[in-house]
Amino acid sequence: MKIKRKVEVAVISDVHLGTYGCHAKQLLTYLNSIQPKKLVLNGDIIDIWQFSKRYFPKSHLRVIKKIIDMASDGVEVIYITGNHDEMLRKFSDTKIGKISIVDKIVLELDGKKAWIFHGDVFDVSIQNAKWLAKLGGYGYDLLILLNRFTNWCLERMGKEKYSLSKKIKNSVKRAVKYINDFEEVASDLAIENGYDYVICGHIHQPKMIIKENKHGKTTYLNSGDWVENFTALEYQFKRWKIYNYSKDKLSPFFADEDIKDMEVKDLIAAITIVDQHSKK
């Protein structure tokens, strides 16, 4: 019998289901190996930007089925919207059973506060005006609206949606500066609002570091991605850690489990058919 690791909170981000870069099989193996109380999907789980009817393989459907099964088994699933799945922001604050969709969330963990959001809305603020990100409690909500409006305008002009992180990948110096600025803005805003932890995704850089300024300190964490790094964040025994799939020697034993033999049509049916008992 396979014994799953119990964790209080697991955080994954930047899976990009529906793209060639997504490593869905590795993610499914990871999800099969844990038993969390809360599973936080911190943005860019389904890549709606690059979605194509011609490419959504069976392994990607299995991930969605697995997440739904986890929610059915009592796991609280929190889907935080990102830029590649920003279409879901119109459904923010919606809850279906154990699955909720939000733009950001604050979790109380052993007397400490963890502020969790994807981080894409910092793109514009970092490049043009950091003060936009420091407007206090309403700053993040304002940035979400700004980001949505910017992309709406770009779409109407026939241009690609805005993502600074994508534009800087070909420049090492600019990439390093962007990542440092991203961490500083997120950490400063968390300190200003009294959060003990600030947890992001978006930049695909797994990290855990204590950040300080003259007003206080916070722990900055980033869950990385399932395109290059295969990482997640886990909270258990009053502490956070970065999980790295490539260093987990036990993970192959959890591959696919009971849904590995399901046909695509059966997977789609399992995902889309609503459990009749949940309606009662």
Q: Which of 86, 117, 119 is nearest to 104 (CA)?
A: 117
Q: For residues 235 and 8, is the Cβ–Cβ distance under 8 A?
A: yes
pLDDT in tens, 46-84: 988 777 667 888 999 999 999 999 999 999 999 999 988
Residue 17: pLDDT above 90?
A: yes
The DSSP output letter for 266 is H
Which pLDDT band holds residue 130 (cuts at 50, 70, 90)? very low
Q: Tell me, what's the pLDDT at 183?
A: 92
Task: Look at residue 277 and tell me whether its pLDDT is greater than 60.
Answer: no
Predicted pLDDT at 244: 96
Q: What is the pTM of this model?
A: 0.78
The pLDDT confidence band at residue 266, using thresholds 50, 70 and 90, is low
Amino acid sitting at position 46: I
pLDDT at 164: 43
Instruction: State the Cα angle at 45 between 107 and 12, rounded to 5°.
Output: 45
CA dihedral 78, 227, 243, 95 (to 10 degrees): 0
Over residues 167-223, the pLDDT tens digits come to: 444 444 565 676 788 899 899 999 999 999 999 999 889 999 999 999 999 999 999
pLDDT score at 49: 74
CATH assignment of 5-279, among 3.90.870.40, 3.60.21.10, 3.40.190.10, 3.30.1330.20: 3.60.21.10
